[in-house]
Structure 1
Amino acid sequence: MNTLDQLLKPKSVAVIGASIKDRRAGNIVMKNLLLGGFEGAIMPVTPKYPSVCGVLAYKSIDALPITPDIAVLCTRASRNVALIEELAQKGISTVIILASDMARSDNEISIQDRCLKIAKDSNMRLLGPNSLGIILPWLNFNASFSPITALKGKIAFISQSAAVCTTILDWANDKNIGFSAFVSLGNGLDIDFAELLDRLSMDSHTEAILLYVDTIKDARRFMSAARAASRNRRILVLKGGRTASGRKAARLHTGGDDTLDIIYDSAIRRTGMLRVNNTHELFAAVETLTHSVPLRGERLAIITNGGGPAIMAVDTLLERGGKLAQLDEETLNRLSTVLPESWSHSNPIDMVGDAGNRRYVDTLNVLLDSNIADAILIMHSPSAVSPSEQTAQEIVDAIRAHPKHKQFNILTNWSGELTAKPARQIFTQAGIPTYRTPESAVVAFMHLVEYRRNQKQLMETPTSAEPVHIGELNHAKQWIEEKLEQNHTLMLDTHQIGSFLKYFNFNVLPTWIASDASEAVHVAEKIGYPVAVKLRSPDIAHKSDVHGVMLNLRNSVEVANAAQAILDRTKLSYPAAHIHGLLVQGMGKLAGGEEIRIKVITDNTFGPVILIGQGGSEWDESIDAAAALPPLNMTLARYLIVRAIKSGKIRPQKLPDPMNIDGLSEFLVRLSQMVVDCPQVQQLDIHPLLANGNEFTILDADLVLSRYKKDAHERLAIRPYPVEMEQKLTLKDGTEILLRPILPEDEPLHAEFIHKVSKDDLYKRFFTDVGEFNHEALANFTQIDYDREMAFVAVTYTAGNPTIIGVSRALINHQNSDAEFAILIRSDLKGIGLGKILMGKIIQYCKDKGTAQISGMTMPTNRGMLTLAQKLGFELDVQFSDGTADMVLRLND
């Protein structure tokens, strides 16, 4: 039994350190449990009092009559090690720790580390420390230190900050917004975001999940769980620590590393979640999520009785990349029949300041009847001819009466306070999102749009990029091994790494080394003017610190003067620095190009990260770069570039031959392959990359290598394509196949494959009649998380063109206790041993992963599948009455 079941579905609870004194944690938790109406056993534990809040108390943990599902520790940190030991001896599986100062050392080992060791040894789970507790409204369970409880609802909230918890609760109660679960992680010593996302994304009471994040400790687990959860539930993230000072505060609050905010931003986008920037946006987004339907499109229509507020709304919409709905001729004509002649005749639909209730309702009905918008924002400024409350109520009635109202997202903005507040309350009670300002209403709408875009990006089919040839990749790996043979860490410059970069098909500007100014002149005369001269020193990370780069030197005098000046400045500013001479490069082909800076860094939490921005010596990564996590495909690389351009990180010039985005995308994909396959690459700084149309030339680069003995893929936040699982085989009829993991790029091939499977075979696979599979369904088949699921495809090649002829897949639960398998073979290719090969491959994969068992379900009439399963050792349970046949194979104890 998963121990989170006790946390999320408790039937009994013990309060350790229960108290009769007001404002003590042990008293507040007891009162919250009792006032909440929890029907399970509530057992206070304290040696001081015979009862607490009218409930019989027990003098010790050992005296408890039953083993509770949860124990809430309301005691000082110094007592918790001994208490955790007692709870372990009692067999209690889940403990909530409220104490906040457990990171301090006690006998050289921190209190929380000692508690965690006891917990791990006894299979106990810990929530906290520094937790506010947990509230489960659907169970009337409030085991928290919060002064406010939560209403029943369909949003789960998980937070590392107790203060954010109470703030959200206070606001939500005022807005009549409820929750399915309210979990305060605290420092996340044991139970973390990943586990809770896995569980709550499958919870029937939960439709959306909100996260407040200070830091993430296990990036891969978080990314994997978040990506899976975001396919089933809408997830919003409020992330603190956008600035350097904020990151420092977050580290002090919950621990973790100094990860740049742009990296978190990239990670959140990559999983399909939506990030909000502040509590104001979070409140707006929560209200929208609570009452919204999935957007069909992004067009917003605006109804208003005032031009000024509508203009502010439009400005905010367009500044954030939104789309204003266009009124078609039919809608214009219909609106003209219900509005005065002076109405705006465009969107925003300004009904003029004397608009009364009837005008609002008639205009709304015209829009609901039309198909010109996907969402409608209704705005109201205080007006004597349109009383706020009456207008609001009539709009609510009109929305409820219209048969198509559920097809639209309807938002309202009633500006003002005294007259507007009762109207906003009417909308709140009716479940219609309402906002105080035009800007906040539009921002809330854009959250829906951005979420939709993130999900579409998650599902987009990538095009293929030319991979680095395996022979060149092996040469690159050998080059690294030779460089690190005598060194643990090594810093190399452009001249030293040119051959390495060329293995990845990167064009590097030829570079020569000169020991002094005289030799620099000699090199320049040899290669031709103009030239660039650059400092070469392993001790100076940024050449710009000493003006160590001089460009467009056109004769020997300029070269000699520039070279000597670089050397003199360096010796003056950094007398202890080792100077290894100068680099000399030609500049003949540099005119009219775009300078881009690309950097690979290794983050302590997320591992390797690719940064991109405008070229230049003054470069602050946290401000001037956009980030992406490898591995990248063409689609992800393109999104990174476009995002960098839209955010001003790259500012394209108007050039005769502008930078080719597809070409730069391919460059980034090859760079990503370097990062994935060469774990010794600790850092690579390309400064700059010159882009001339579709030609990309590295002008300068610095590489840091470091020995790495672990699994190359362990350091990545996202599991890359497991090329090591590819296998060439021959079928009974002599057909040669490549058995390999599925790729996102396989979507068109997978669609062709399904077309060649008979309707009867598809019915047996999916237990229903299936028609055409749309893009979203095919993307779900092909874009998988290799950390928690696997699909192997059998591929044949005819004249070099690939064809998928069969697929087996396994979806593994997050406890790794069961893998649900499925298999599908092209209907005209049965009887040649393909099914056995595909099943054998997926079984071996699950064995290697340590999965306890593999299971599947088919129909009793599917004799071929049942016969194969029986031959492979599966236990069968055929139920003809239910029309099902279960197959289970035990793999690992």
Structure 2
Amino acid sequence: MSVRNLNHIFAPGSVALIGANDKPGTVGGVLAGNLFGAGFAGEIYPVNPKYDTVAGLATYPDIAALPRTPDLAVIATPPDTVPGLVDDLGRRGCTAAVVITAGFGEGGSAVGRARTQAMLVAARPHLLRIVGPNCLGVMVPGVGLNASFAHVPPLAGNLAFVAQSGAVLAAVLDWATSRRIGFSHCVSLGDMVDVDFGDMLDYLAADVSTRAILLYIEAITHPRKFMSAARAAARIKPVIVVKAGRYAEGARAAASHTGALAGSDAVYDAAFARAGMLRVKDMQALFDAVQTLAMVRQVPGDRLAILTNGGGLGVMATDTLIERGGRLADLAPATIDRLDAVLPPTWSHGNPVDIIGDAPGSRYAAALEALVNDSNNDAVLVINCPTAVASAAAAAKAVIATLKDRMALYNRKAVLTCWMGDGSALEARRLLTESRLPTYETPTQAVRGFMQMVRYRASQTLLMETPPTIPEAFTPDLDAARQIVAGALAADRNWLTEVEAKAVLAAYAVPVVPSHVCASPEEAAAAATRIGGAVALKILSPDIVHKSEVSGVSLNLETPEVVRANAAAMLQRVHGLRPEARVDGFTVQPMIHRPHAHELIVGMVDDSHFGPVLLFGHGGVAVEVIGDKALALPPLNMHLAREMMSRTRVHGLLQGYRAVPAADLDAIALTLVKVSQLVCDLAGIAELDINPLIADEHGVLALDARIRVTRAEGPAYERLAILPYPRELEERLVLPDGRELLIRPVRPEDEPGFQQIFASLSPEEIRLRFLHMMNVLPHDLAARLTQIDYDREMALVVEGRDQGGGAELYGGVRISADPDREQAEFAILLRHDKTGLGLGPMLLRRIIDYARGRGIGEIYGEVLADNQAMLKLCRVFGFSIKAEREDPGVMYVSLAL
């Protein structure tokens, strides 16, 4: 389930409160007071057999006695009664409930788990949606709904806050109300037995009263649904999340370096980043984010101008700014001149702009006017510290007046404030808050608020950026890789040998150093003779994952005799340290001499929540000590791979320094893409390490590799949090004129192809396709057409060849389904010079078949009434066609599947 019937929770026409009473201080009493006192315009039905009236209203003994079926039921009765009440509500036709009651398995109670199951069994036949149990409730100020036992009612606004913890929600309400910050929705999810974060993101993304979404998360359910919903919501409006329990689980115990490095919280970080959400670390940062989102315009960049009457505070703000990756704005020469004209000679003559401790309000106003007019900064932070010679409140009034007088300019420039002090600053902060100016208690908090907006903008840019094409084509030998994995499992082995692991990598075109398998010291010496030059000798054992821990690696062995002696000694040493380990012999490899090469690690681990997670970082034997890593969810493209690399410290070294040339960054990124593809293809890969992967200006080479395998049920994509490119939908066909075409799902790299299709259209064709005139195809729209979530959307494109033999797009068809797959909107786009080839019917037939196979109930679209060609095609396929009520020039076409 997803958004089905959630409208009855958040916009009900009537509410039944089961367990209502008049006792002060009880949950039922507080619920009744909140529900009756919030201004709800619909009917409210108190239900309690022990009362004749509650809050002066007639009270009903049970659900059957209600005069009509409520849209929403709020349940606050003992836990054993809840499953029966849910069953009664469902039979009555109610489809939504908020269960306040606890006692449903918190802490692992078997009795509670049984109650939960009974409640869900009762709800399922009626599609009755449940928020909770064990929750504070839900609040929607815009419709006067307060179905909670919160101590403070929320103000109306455009921020939605969703939390697992009722205590956190209550704390946020208390804090926000004192600052006049309002909410569109406040939702406590509790145990999330039904409605979860994915459902709420889907609902709130489409809610026009919600400008931004705030989440407090302890854990998520249904990772793929969550990721799909989060990625969809984050493209529409800001989504900010604080995740609790960052250190509770720690790094998971694992045999691979990747397993040791990929802690649970780091995986959540990677998931949030991939979805385009902004993560903050604690509740204070969330409070800052609430204030910043509520009041600050989006910032176009990271250049901050600081205006202060105290030099030390300006330095403090600057330190925080640089520490968090922001930049101190360079003041334009004209701005310096303007400030010289209005400030004392002793001002700082730079940024931070220190206007001296005796600054009156007029000085603040003059300096602020100069800074907000300076295009060299992206935002202005105004700081005030209390002094005996100047009024903090007067300074605040001057700032407010300056911005009000130039409101058009303020609407384009973010301004943040920080009034230091306690009693002396209270009045100033009140004035600033009432004027919708964000105000913080410390410079650190203010700069953190600014950088949250910077990070959010960066995440949105990443979410919408068009990835480059892959620099070299590679076709995996999937069968060879599968045979190696199957062979190890058939032999009851969970770890591939080094030779097998490298063979799997080679099947995916990852460059590997050649390895010679030798059964004895004598064979090792003979292999060294064939190789010539210095070699590396390694023990070969399916039971020894980290060879260095048993001194199972010898490097720079110059002669066959030295190899033989080292092999014999190694064999004796390993038998002494690990007598139980099976030893199959040795591997002998040529020593690789690349003096400027960097040691990297590329890995994968299967996370318990999000499935496969990829790792990149600084490699070598001290990889855990160095701890320089970045995580990402597969699948990756070149852009995502490069972004992943950029989050590590070693990335700076890879770009070259002093006499060391830059490494081949494309080769490293391509290796990440190849490993991502491997993980998406092979369900049996449970852990993977390439360590070290050496990289220099000549490319990359895997010197060592470990792969753990496991028996898997179902296809590989089922374990992924983000569905990969569905290669199985690719189809090749030949037109009657002999031209070969490829029908395939769209890829993010196809945006240039869509721009070319758009450029081929006439103005009339653009109007017919997009329902209005457009001179260009905007990047954000093109990105939405090509960067799709394959779980909810599908777009098939037709790819042909241009005169030079290169690939080009002829056109495409797409569907975008609602979260419940009840309906999906479709659209077709063809290049002007490719019409008349039968591509339209061919694409429409395939997308209809795809939609039917996915269980979508209906596909629909809007077609201009004068687009006769499209209407004719729809009639051929059996679509029903009717004029839109609001616009008779637009026809609504639909096909039940």
Q: TM-score, normalised by structure 2?
A: 0.93
The match for 2:18 is 16
Tell me the residue number matched to 1:71: 73
Map of 2:611 onto structure 1:
607
Aligned to 1:787: 791
* Structure-2 change in CA distance of 1:571 and 1:110 (3 Å): farther
Q: Is the 8 A contact 1:512 1:583 kept in 2?
A: yes
Distance 1:731 1:538, change over 3 A: closer
Contact 1:155–1:209 (Cα < 8 Å) also in 2: yes
1:87 matched residue in structure 2: 89
SS in 2 for 1:14: strand
2:164 maps to 1:160: yes
Distance (whole Å) between structure 1 residues aligned to residue 170 and residue 884 of structure 2: 51
CA distance in 2, matches of 1:548, 1:414: 63
Q: For 2:463 and 2:500, how far apart are their aligned partners in 1?
A: 39
Give the conservation status (yes or no) of the 8 Å contact 1:29–1:143. Answer: yes
The reply on whether 1:333 has 2:337 as its aligned counterpart is yes
Matched to 2:681, the amino acid is D
Distance change (3 Å), C-alpha of 1:471 and 1:491? closer
Could you tell me whether the CA contact under 8 Å between 2:863 and 2:893 is conserved in 1?
Answer: no
Deviations 1:466-496 (A, max 9, x none): 5664473344344444554x25663112122
Match of 2:132 in 1: 128
In structure 2, what is the Cα distance between the partners aligned to 1:880 and 1:831?
Answer: 32
Q: What residue number does 2:634 align with? A: 630
Q: Which residue of 1 aligns with 2:541?
A: 537
Residues 78, 106 of structure 1: alpha-carbon distance in 2 compared, 3 angstrom cutoff: farther
1:713 aligns to what SS in structure 2? helix
Matching of residue 173 in structure 1 with residue 177 in structure 2: yes
Whole-Å Cα distance in 1 between the matches of residues 852 and 156 of structure 2?
A: 42
Matches within 5 A, 1:103-502: 103=105, 110-245=114-249, 260-402=264-406, 403-466=408-471, 469-470=474-475, 472-484=477-489, 486-487=490-491, 490-502=494-506
- The number of residue pairs the alignment matches comes to 882
Letter in 1 for 2:829: L
| Identity of matched residues, % | 39
Q: 1:165: how far off?
A: 0.8
Secondary structure in 2 aligned to 1:42?
Answer: strand
- The letter of the residue matching 2:28 is G
Distance in 1, matches of 2:703 and 2:324, equals: 36
What amino acid does structure 2 have at the position aligned with 1:537? S
The letter of the residue matching 1:58 is Y
**Which one of the candidate residues 884, 888, 893 is aligned to 2:893?**
888
How many angstroms does 1:290 deviate by?
A: 0.5
1:811 aligns with one of 789, 813, 816 = 816
1:404 to partner: Cα distance: 1.1
Task: Determine which of 859, 865, 879 is the counterpart of 1:860.
Answer: 865
- Kept in 2, the 8 Å contact 1:489–1:707? The answer is no
1:694 paired residue among 687, 694, 698 = 698
Mark the CA change 1:10 to 1:652 in structure 2 (over 3 Å): closer, same or farther. farther
Which structure 1 segments of 5+ residues have no match?
249-257
Query: Which structure 2 segments of 5+ residues have no match?
Result: 253-261
Give the letter for the 2:430 counterpart: Q
Matched, 1:877 2:882: yes
Output the CA distance in 2 between the equivalents of 1:590 and 1:6.
66
Q: Structure 2 vs 1, CA of residues 144 and 623 (structure 1 numbering), >3 Å: closer, same or farther? A: farther
Paired with 2:892 and 2:879, the residues of 1 have a C-alpha distance of 6
Contact 1:847–1:891, Cα closer than 8 Å, also in 2: no
Matched ranges for 1:708-747 at <5 A: 708-731=712-735, 735-747=739-751
Instruction: Give the 3 Å change call, closer, same or farther, for CA 759–64 of structure 1 in structure 2.
Output: same
CA contact (8 A) 2:628 2:649 kept: no
Contact 1:664 1:694 (8 Å CA) reproduced: no
Residues in 1 aligned to 2:435 and 2:669: alpha-carbon distance in whole angstroms: 48
Deviations 1:364-396 (A, max 9, x none): 111223322221111111123331011101210
Q: How far off its partner does 1:421 sit?
A: 2.0
1:42 offset after TM fit, Å?
2.0
C-alpha displacement of 1:520:
4.8
Q: Describe the superposition over 1:598-643 as per-residue Cα deviations: whole angstroms up to 9, x where unpaired.
A: 2111112211111112213344499543111111110000000011
Distance (whole Å) between structure 1 residues aligned to residue 125 and residue 557 of structure 2: 69
Q: Specify whether residues 154 and 674 from structure 1 end up closer, same or farther in structure 2 by C-alpha distance, changes over 3 A only.
A: same
Tell me, in whole angstroms, the C-alpha distance in 2 between the residues paired with 1:399 and 1:15: 47
Structure 1 pair 148–879 and aligned structure 2 pair: CA distance change class (3 A): closer
User: Where does residue 44 of structure 2 map in the other structure?
Assistant: 42
Q: Following TM superposition, by how much is the alpha carbon of 1:107 offset from its aligned partner in structure 2, in angstroms?
A: 7.1
Write the distance in 2 (CA, Å) between the matches of 1:655 and 1:188: 57
Q: How far apart in 1 are the matches of 2:755 and 2:574?
A: 62
8 Å CA contact retained: 1:95, 1:126: yes
In structure 2, C-alpha distance between the alignment counterparts of 1:81 and 1:276, rounded to whole Å: 38
Matching residue within 632, 639, 642 for 2:643: 639
By how many angstroms is 1:536 displaced? 3.2
Give TM-score scaled by structure 1 length: 0.93
Aligned partners of 1:550 and 1:652: how far apart in 2? 30
Change in Cα spacing, 1:446 to 1:29, as seen in structure 2 (3 Å) is same
* Offset at residue 92 of structure 1 (A): 2.1
> What is the distance in 1 between the residues matched to 2:840 and 2:245?
52
CA distance in 2, matches of 1:679, 1:751: 36
Aligned residue number for residue 252 of structure 1 = none
CA distance in 2, matches of 1:699, 1:130: 53
Cα RMSD (Å)? 2.7
Q: Distance in 1 between matches of 2:113 and 2:373?
A: 68
